[in-house]
Structure 1
Amino acid sequence: MVRLIVFDLGKVLVNFDFNIAVRRLKERCPVDMVRAYSLFKNSDLAENWDKGEIPPETFFATIQKEMRLSVTQAEFRDIWNGIFTEKTDMIELARSLNRNNRVYVLSNVNPWHAEHLRKTYPWLGEFDGFVASCDVKLVKPDPAIFRLVLKKTGTAPGEVFYVDDIAEHVRAARKLGIDGHVFKGASGLVEELNKRNLLEDGAGPAG
């Protein structure tokens, strides 16, 4: 029996697009867009930032040097945080699930984004918990972060349903005995929730 539903955040409950930040930076200084995206998303720097293992000043100084930025840290942070949009259908679905189930959010997220998301989207505080990688010094797909959620919530692996858009993360959870779904859209998720009798009658995104 499922006692806990865990949602990934990015691309599941909120959308994000690093190209928005890159385009805004390019208006201010010469930016190699390929290099910028690789620094933001697919680098040791990005992973250590998501783990909360480097201070903001070090992160910004590295980015500033690598990209030859002519912006202040405050200006960069504003641009860096401006990449998110809500997925309102998914937020309402998560809320409806939270009426009869415990719901947690588990995200690989850096300190600036974590703070921004908590301030900008108060619905995050409506759920039973939000585990941010930068707060626990662990990132998915490390099994330790899933074990941490199990310990924190007092649930067994077989009592958890996990939703993430990244298949590698879902596979890591499944190896621990956690039931998981690779998110590709709300309709597919609703189908999986119904299979597990987790939705109230009529619940789910409109359309």
Structure 2
Amino acid sequence: MIRTMLFDLGNVMIRFSHEKMFDQVGALCGASGDEASRWFLESPLPGQFERGQVGGGEIHRWIEGMADRRLKREEVKLAISDIFWAVSRMEAIAGHIKQAGLRLVLLSNTCAWHVDFIRERFDVLAPFDDLVLSYEVGAAKPESRIYEVALERIGCVPGECFFVDDKQENIDAACRHGLDAELFTDADAFLQHLAARGLSVGSAPD
């Protein structure tokens, strides 16, 4: 029996676009989105920011270095963070699951700026009983450490926790830690996964 739902955030509970981020950062720096994409791919700083190993100040200075001019911290933060849009159907489904009495925990690779932005503009985090965030844990999926923290937070044995994520390597890691897990593709498939586990929460409107 499922007692806890463990959700990924990006492209499960909320959509995002890296391409939009690259375009916005590039425009801020007088460069193309492709150039900005290369900066993010070639630098260790974004991954370190996601693991809480560097702060927003380092990211701000790094982007200023790419622009070769002074930039306001808030405009850098906005260019990096204004990349999300809500998945209203999944928010409704999460609400139904919560009403059914299950514990909801979020397990996400993310950075402090992104969580700030989401909290300010969306309600997607409201139903969750706990948040396991890479920048707070100091590790990111599929690394073992972040799953070990999640296992401490789920409030049940691993086999009673159902996890969904949009990346197969994260699902594989979850299964190695004893969690029941499925790759997330869309809301309909997710509802089918729940039904197969004896949990019906309704179709939820589009």
Corresponding residue of 2:31: 31
Contact 2:63 2:76 in 1 (8 A): no
Query: Unaligned regions of 5+ residues in structure 2, if any?
Result: none
Distance 1:6 1:29 in 2: 38
Alpha-carbon distance in 2 for matches of 1:42, 1:108: 19
The CA RMSD measured in Å over matched residues stands at 2.0
Aligned to 2:150: 149
Tell me the CA shift for residue 56 of structure 1.
Answer: 1.1
Alpha-carbon separation, structure 2, partners of 1:183 and 1:69: 42
Match of 1:122 in 2: 123
TM-score by structure 2 length?
0.90
Q: Which aligned pairs between 1:46-125 and structure 2 lie closer than 5 A?
A: 46-66=46-66, 68=68, 71-100=71-100, 101-125=102-126
User: What is the CA distance between 1:69 and its match in structure 2?
Assistant: 6.0
CA distance in 1, matches of 2:49, 2:28: 24
Write the distance in 2 (CA, Å) between the matches of 1:161 and 1:23: 36
Deviations 1:116-141 (A, max 9, x none): 21222234122211221111212111
For the pair 1:164 / 2:161, whether they are aligned, the reply is: no
Match of 1:185 in 2: 186
| AA at the equivalent of 2:120 | K
| Residue 70 of structure 1: how far off its partner (Å) | 5.6
Q: Does the 8 Å contact 1:10/1:107 carry over to 2?
A: yes
Aligned to 2:19: 19
The AA in structure 2 aligned to 1:136 is: V
- Aligned-residue offset at 1:41: 6.1
Residue 204 of structure 1 aligns with an amino acid whose one-letter code is S
Tell me if structure 2 keeps the 8 A contact 1:7–1:163.
yes
Shift of 1:26: 3.9
Question: Contact 1:39–1:46 (CA<8 Å) still a contact in 2?
Answer: no
Greater Cα shift, 74-83 or 22-31 = 22-31
Q: Equivalent residue for 2:204?
A: 205
User: Aligned pair in 2 of structure 1 residues 72, 103: CA closer, same or farther (>3 Å)?
Assistant: same
Pair 1:21–1:9, CA change in 2 (3 A)? same
Whether contact under 8 Å (1:39, 1:45) holds in the other structure is no
Amino acid at match of 1:109: T
Contact 2:104/2:127, CA 8 A, preserved across alignment: no
Q: Quote the residue 1:131 is aligned against.
A: 132
Partner of 2:2: 2
Shift of 1:170: 0.5
In 1: Cα distance, 2:198 partner to 2:39 partner: 42
Distance 1:95 1:69, change over 3 A: farther
SS at match of 1:124: coil
TM-score, with structure 1 as normaliser: 0.90
